[in-house]
């Protein structure tokens, strides 16, 4: 006769398929399914990668000796620094202006909504390369900029034609173009916040601007951060179009200047690609941790630490 504190299961043979003396069922030993197709596909991919790597390593056309010679060249490293500066400054401008444009798109003021829509229509509808070419021609379009009171004193005069500001023009051109895309990202994040949050803020006496700044935007960050990280990585690579201004102090411009002299474009392009890949990898790691920070509480899936604390709490309750 089985004891009163043991639960018999159908088909129980006493070989691990029954129950424990505490009345809890014995955990089922799960055996994963064999999937030979995965192993075959992995083997084929590894073979193809190995063949490509061997072919590239033994192909003299890649110019690996030149590649290693210029990988850490001082001119390339200075170009990397300039590329990072362009990326950070242009993206900062894009985030600030994009947030303003997104708020204007959602504003109850029809004038602000129309102005934001026209901005997005122009900068999203024309290629960024064409926009940068126009910024390169800016000194020809506007030789002087004068600010002052109409029919009164002049407060500011800028001689644009003789101003050496190609770096500034690249930052402005990239930032203004990216702001149009950031505006849509921020607008999507704002729309992801429930209407109840806004209604509650208004009920507390907040204005529309305070509701956006204190309630909506902080919650929208969870949706805004992932695509913003992708846009930052895209901005890093878009800086290679700075030659349209023209500006050649970035890493791609430096590599192009070098292979214009030694006539070996392939290894120098590989050098530039390696630096872009290295910086992108670092940005992807930062994006991962930033997304994890802002996604706290967004999922019911518990972390290993939380599961351990829960198990410890259950053990204490049972002991009592």
The full DSSP string for 129-140 is HHHHHHHHTHHH
Is 28 within the bounds of a domain?
A: no
Give the global pTM.
0.74
Is 248 within the bounds of a domain?
A: yes
End-to-end CA distance of the chain: 31
Is 310 within the bounds of a domain?
A: no
* pLDDT bracket for residue 13 (50, 70, 90): very low
Distance CA 107, CA 74 (A): 49
Is 47 within the bounds of a domain?
A: no
239-to-87, 120, 249, 302 alpha-carbon distances in Å? 7, 21, 10, 40
Pick from 4-13, 184-193, 212-221, 234-243 the range whose average pLDDT is largest.
234-243
- What total of structural domains would you count in the chain? 1
Is 259 within the bounds of a domain?
A: yes
Cβ distance 248 to 256 under 8 Å?
yes
Q: Give the H or E element holding residue 146.
A: strand 144-148
Nearest to 225, CA basis, from 147, 287, 181: 287
Range of the domain at 75: 63-296
Is 234 within the bounds of a domain?
A: yes
Distance CA 91, CA 277 (A): 19
Q: What is the pLDDT of residues 103-148, one digit of tens each?
A: 899 888 889 999 999 999 999 999 999 999 998 888 888 777 777 6
Nearest 5°: CA angle at 23, between 21 and 25? 100
The DSSP 8-state label assigned to residue 25 in this structure reads: B
Return the exposure string of 149-184: e unless at least 16 CB atoms fall within 10 Å of the residue's CB, then b. Answer: eeeeeeeeeeeeeeeeebbebbbbbbbbbbbbbbbb
pLDDT attached to residue 4: 46
Is 27 within the bounds of a domain?
A: no
Q: What percent of the chain is modeled with pLDDT above 70?
A: 82
Residue position matching structure tokens 């410890």: 312
283: domain CATH number? 1.10.3720.10
Is 316 within the bounds of a domain?
A: no
Report how far Cα 144 is from the mean position of its chain's Cα atoms.
Answer: 38
Q: What is the pLDDT of residues 267-317, one digit of tens each?
A: 999 999 999 999 999 999 888 887 777 766 555 565 666 667 777 776 776
């Amino acid at each position: 006769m089985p004891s009163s504190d043991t639960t018999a299961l159908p088909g129980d043979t006493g070989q691990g398929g029954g129950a424990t003396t505490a009345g809890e069922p014995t955990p089922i030993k799960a055996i994963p399914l064999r999937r030979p197709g995965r192993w075959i596909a992995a083997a084929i991919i590894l073979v193809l990668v190995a063949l490509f790597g061997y072919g590239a390593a033994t192909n003299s056309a890649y110019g690996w000796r030149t590649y290693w010679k210029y990988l850490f060249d001082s001119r390339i490293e200075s170009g990397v620094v300039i590329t990072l500066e362009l990326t950070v400054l242009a993206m900062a401008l894009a985030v600030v202006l994009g947030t303003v444009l997104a708020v204007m798109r959602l504003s109850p003021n029809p004038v602000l909504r129309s102005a934001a829509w026209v901005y997005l229509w122009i900068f999203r509808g024309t290629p960024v390369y064409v926009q940068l070419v126009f910024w390169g021609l800016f000194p020809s379009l506007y030789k002087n900029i004068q600010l002052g009171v109409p029919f009164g004193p002049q407060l500011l005069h800028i001689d644009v034609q003789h101003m050496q500001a190609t770096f500034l023009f690249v930052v402005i051109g990239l930032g203004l173009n990216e702001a149009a895309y950031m505006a849509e990202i921020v607008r999507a994040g704002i729309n992801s916040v429930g209407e109840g949050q806004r209604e509650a803020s208004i009920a507390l006496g907040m204005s529309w601007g305070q509701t956006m700044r204190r309630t909506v935007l902080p919650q929208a960050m969870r949706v805004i951060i992932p695509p913003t990280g992708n846009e930052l990585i895209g901005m890093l690579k878009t800086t290679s179009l700075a030659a349209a201004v023209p500006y050649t102090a970035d890493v791609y411009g430096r590599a192009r200047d070098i292979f214009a002299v030694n006539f070996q474009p392939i290894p120098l392009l590989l050098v530039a690609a390696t630096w872009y890949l290295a910086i992108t990898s670092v940005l992807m790691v930062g994006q991962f941790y930033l997304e994890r920070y802002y996604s706290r509480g967004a999922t019911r899936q518990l972390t290993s630490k939380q599961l351990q604390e829960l198990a410890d709490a259950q053990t204490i309750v049972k002991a009592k």
